A and B are shown apart, each in its own frame.
Chain A
Amino acid sequence: MTFTWEAALAELDRRRALSRELGGERRVTRQREQGRLTIRERIAKISQEFSEVGEFAAFEELDAYGNSIGMLPSSYVCGLAKVDGRTVALGGEDFTVRGGAPQTYLDRMKGGLGGFVEDLAHEYKIPLMMFLEGIGGDVAAQEDKGHAYLVSSISWKRSFELMSEVPVLSMISGAAVGGTAARTVISHFSVMTKDSVFFAGGPPLVKRALGIDMDKYELGGAAVATTSGAIDNVAEDEEDAIAQMQTVLSYLPQNVWQMPPRVECTDPVTRRAPELLKIIPENRRQPYQAPRVIKAVVDEGSFFQIGAGWGKSVVTGLARIDGIPIGVVASNPRHLGGALDAAAAEKQVRLVDMCSTFHLPILYFVDVPGFMVGPEAEKGNVMRWGMRAIQSMVQADVPVVTVQVRKAYGLAASATSNPDRLGLRLAWPTGAWGDLPIGGGVEAAYSREIAAADDPDAMRAEIEARMAALVDPWRTAEAFGVEQMIDPRETREVVAAFLNASLTGLETSLGKPRQQWSLRP
Chain B
Amino acid sequence: MTLIESDTAGTVWKILVTEGQAVSDGDTLIILESMKMEIPFEAEEDGVVQTIHVAEGDVISDGDALVTLGG
Give A residues with C-beta under 8 Å from B.
285-287, 312, 333-339, 369
- Contact assessment for A334 and B7 in the assembled complex, using a CB-CB cutoff below 8 Å: yes
- Contact assessment for B34 and A336 in the assembled complex, using a CB-CB cutoff below 8 Å: yes
B16 at the interface (CB under 8 A from A): no
B17-25, B35-43, B45-53 - interface stretch: B35-43
Interface pairs (9), CB distance under 8 Å? A286-B38, A286-B40, A287-B38, A312-B8, A334-B7, A335-B34, A336-B35, A337-B37, A339-B35
- Contact assessment for B62 and A334 in the assembled complex, using a CB-CB cutoff below 8 Å: no
Give B residues with C-beta under 8 Å from A.
7-9, 34-40, 62
Known: A312-B7, A334-B8. A285 touches B62 (CB 8 A): no
Instruction: Pick from B9, B36, B40 the residue with the most CB of A within 10 Å.
Output: B36
For A312, what are the chain B residues with a Cβ–Cβ distance below 8 Å? Answer: 7-8, 62
Residue of B nearest to A332 (CB): B8
- B37–chain A nearest beta-carbon distance, Å: 5
For B9, what are the chain A residues with a Cβ–Cβ distance below 8 Å? Answer: 335-336
- Contact assessment for A335 and B38 in the assembled complex, using a CB-CB cutoff below 8 Å: no
Residue of A nearest to B31 (CB): A286
For A333, what are the chain B residues with a Cβ–Cβ distance below 8 Å? Answer: 37
Cα A312 to Cα B9 with chains together (Å): 11
Known: A312-B7, A312-B8, A312-B62. A337 touches B35 (CB 8 A): yes
- Contact assessment for B38 and A285 in the assembled complex, using a CB-CB cutoff below 8 Å: yes
Cα A335 to Cα B36 with chains together (Å): 11
- B47–chain A nearest beta-carbon distance, Å: 21
Cα A275 to Cα B30 with chains together (Å): 24
- Contact assessment for B39 and A287 in the assembled complex, using a CB-CB cutoff below 8 Å: yes
Cα A336 to Cα B8 with chains together (Å): 7
- Contact assessment for A286 and B37 in the assembled complex, using a CB-CB cutoff below 8 Å: yes
Residue of A nearest to B8 (CB): A335
For B34, what are the chain A residues with a Cβ–Cβ distance below 8 Å? Answer: 335-337
Q: What would 14 more interface pairs be, CB under 8 Å, given A334-B37, A335-B62?
A: A286-B38, A287-B39, A312-B7, A312-B8, A334-B8, A334-B39, A335-B7, A335-B34, A336-B8, A336-B9, A336-B34, A337-B34, A337-B35, A337-B36
For A334, what are the chain B residues with a Cβ–Cβ distance below 8 Å? Answer: 7-8, 37, 39
For B62, what are the chain A residues with a Cβ–Cβ distance below 8 Å? Answer: 312, 335
Cα A286 to Cα B40 with chains together (Å): 8
Top 4 nearest A-B pairs by Cβ distance? A337-B35, A335-B8, A285-B38, A337-B37
Cα A335 to Cα B9 with chains together (Å): 7
Cα A335 to Cα B37 with chains together (Å): 9
For A286, what are the chain B residues with a Cβ–Cβ distance below 8 Å? Answer: 37-38, 40
- Contact assessment for B35 and A369 in the assembled complex, using a CB-CB cutoff below 8 Å: yes
Residue of A nearest to B35 (CB): A337
Instruction: Pick from B34, B37, B40 the residue with the most CB of A within 10 Å.
Output: B37
- B54–chain A nearest beta-carbon distance, Å: 17
- Contact assessment for B7 and A287 in the assembled complex, using a CB-CB cutoff below 8 Å: no
- A348–chain B nearest beta-carbon distance, Å: 18
For A369, what are the chain B residues with a Cβ–Cβ distance below 8 Å? Answer: 35-36
Cα A470 to Cα B14 with chains together (Å): 34
- B28–chain A nearest beta-carbon distance, Å: 11
For A287, what are the chain B residues with a Cβ–Cβ distance below 8 Å? Answer: 37-39
- A224–chain B nearest beta-carbon distance, Å: 12
- Contact assessment for B35 and A285 in the assembled complex, using a CB-CB cutoff below 8 Å: no
For B8, what are the chain A residues with a Cβ–Cβ distance below 8 Å? Answer: 312, 334-336
Cα A336 to Cα B36 with chains together (Å): 9
For A339, what are the chain B residues with a Cβ–Cβ distance below 8 Å? Answer: 35
For B36, what are the chain A residues with a Cβ–Cβ distance below 8 Å? Answer: 285, 337, 369
